[in-house]
Amino acid sequence: MDTVVVVVWLSMVVTILSRSHADRNVYPSAGVLFVHVLEREHFKGEFPPYPKPGDSSNDPITFNTNLMGYPDRPGWLRYIQRTSHSDGVLYGSPTAEHVGKATIIEITAYNRRTFETARHNLVINIMSTEEYPLPYQAEFFIKNMNVEEMLASEVLGDFLGAVKNVWQPERLNAINITSALDRGGRVPLPINNLKEGVYVMVGADVQFSSCLREVENPHNQLRCSQEMEPVISCDKKFRAQFDIDWCKINLVDITKVVMIHSNRPDPGTGVLPDIGEYNPPSESLKSRDFFADFLITLAVPSAVAMVLFTILGYSMCCRREGVIQLVHHSSIQKSTKELRSMSKNREISWPLSTLPVFSQSGEVVPPIHPDNYETTSMPLMQTQTNLQNQIQIPQQQPSGKWYS
């Protein structure tokens, strides 16, 4: 019994390894929108079954996509996966420069519950087409769609059917789809099922219809400048499913576009060229002695300071002009000290405003000295013994008698 279990387990592992290295080939056309869906159901079989039935059906699975041998995808190829429980989508519009070059994309699926991985290779063989490029291209901005919703085959087919109904071309292809967030748009608030919006570019082989050109008339241009919806006769053919911002429609006739060549180099594919391996420095590097640099850093400023100090000392002590300045400075200091010592010994004259004017009884007292009296040596606070010339004022005694 154990031998049978081991054999079954080994056969299952071999099957998983063989699937992880299987290549899948796709053949998109240059100038036509390429869409490849990474289905979670397809990758669930890459992981071993679990004891409980139904566990693997709800496993969160995410995908990582990159060009083989490089960390990112080619510049024309984009990838989006909204949540770990939704499918991933590779989409983009290859150009004629990629024709004939096999592009191998490594797809790694991660099981976020068990942390197991499975890997597939997607080989993109870009084919040339005689219809590339279609001469008349129109870009629509659809406000009520997200990019992964628009990439669904049935939704994109409905939109192309509506465009073909109002344009009536013989050949009509979707050229590119771009999220509004890639054009600088803002992330919408998570209320009322608001969408981020998506730009869809389509190409045709005939001139633009009169309905598509209605946005170019002056009346609609005025309404667009006032942030009002223009009046478009064919809008009702889109309004049931697609909310189009007609003010942002862009009509391009590439037959009339003048190609301007400049000296700028052509933009690359975003893949760095192979310039060999990186050779790091050897581990046996010699240590560097910084003692000489330290001495030079201190010696140079010290030498300059000594030279300046010597020149200043010679100018002040050995030159006649310097000696005169030193003597003059010394005499100024001596004079300042003499003035300060004299100011400490001089007597202070007391102002008349500090002397008493009124007695305790409220009567006016005459001045204690005549006008020619010397007041420079008068103290600030006079005692009763110092007031020799003060006129005595009779005071009332308790018995009611006056004494002189």
Residue numbers in the chain where pLDDT is lower than 50: 1-21, 258, 260-262, 370, 373, 375-376, 380, 382-387, 390-391, 393, 399-404
pLDDT at 170: 87
Kindly report the CA angle at 276 between 270 and 279, in degrees rounded to 5? 120
Q: Are residues 69 and 151 in the same domain?
A: no
For the chain, the domain total comes to: 2
Q: Are residues 115 and 161 in the same domain?
A: no
Q: Which of 36, 20, 174, 203 is closest to 103 using CA atoms?
A: 36
Q: Are residues 82 and 46 in the same domain?
A: yes
Q: Are residues 104 and 146 in the same domain?
A: no
Q: Are residues 85 and 58 in the same domain?
A: yes
Q: Which of 18, 30, 134, 38 is closest to 80 using CA atoms?
A: 38
> Is position 107 within any domain?
yes
Q: Are residues 181 and 229 in the same domain?
A: yes
Q: Are residues 91 and 154 in the same domain?
A: no
Helix, strand or coil, per DSSP, at residue 194: coil
pLDDT at 267: 61
> Is position 64 within any domain?
yes
Which tokens is 159 given? 């939109």
> Is position 285 within any domain?
no
Domain that holds residue 194: 136-253
Residue 148's Cα: distance from chain center in Å? 27
> Is position 148 within any domain?
yes
Q: Are residues 114 and 210 in the same domain?
A: no
> Is position 13 within any domain?
no
pLDDT at 55: 55
CA distances from 28 to 17, 101, 102 (A): 28, 12, 11
Alpha helices in 261-319 (DSSP H): 291-317
pLDDT at 9: 34
Q: Are residues 227 and 151 in the same domain?
A: yes
CA distance 109 to 88: 10
Q: Are residues 214 and 117 in the same domain?
A: no
pLDDT at 195: 87
> What's at 93, amino acid-wise?
S
> Is position 232 within any domain?
yes
Q: Which of 105, 125, 145 is the last residue of a domain?
A: 125
Residue 199 pairs with which residues in a beta bridge?
141, 178
Q: Which of 253, 286, 312 is the last residue of a domain?
A: 253
Q: pTM for this one?
A: 0.57
Q: Which of 253, 275, 304 is the last residue of a domain?
A: 253
> What's at 344, amino acid-wise?
K
> Is position 320 within any domain?
no
pLDDT at 8: 31
Q: 379-385 — which CB contacts under 8 Å span 24+ positions?
A: 379/350, 380/350, 380/354, 381/354, 382/355, 382/356
Mean pLDDT of the chain: 77
User: Could you tell me the CATH number of the domain that includes residue 38?
Assistant: 2.60.40.10
CB 99 within 8 A of CB 128: yes
Q: Are residues 145 and 238 in the same domain?
A: yes
First vs last Cα of the chain: how many Å apart? Answer: 148
Q: Are residues 163 and 201 in the same domain?
A: yes
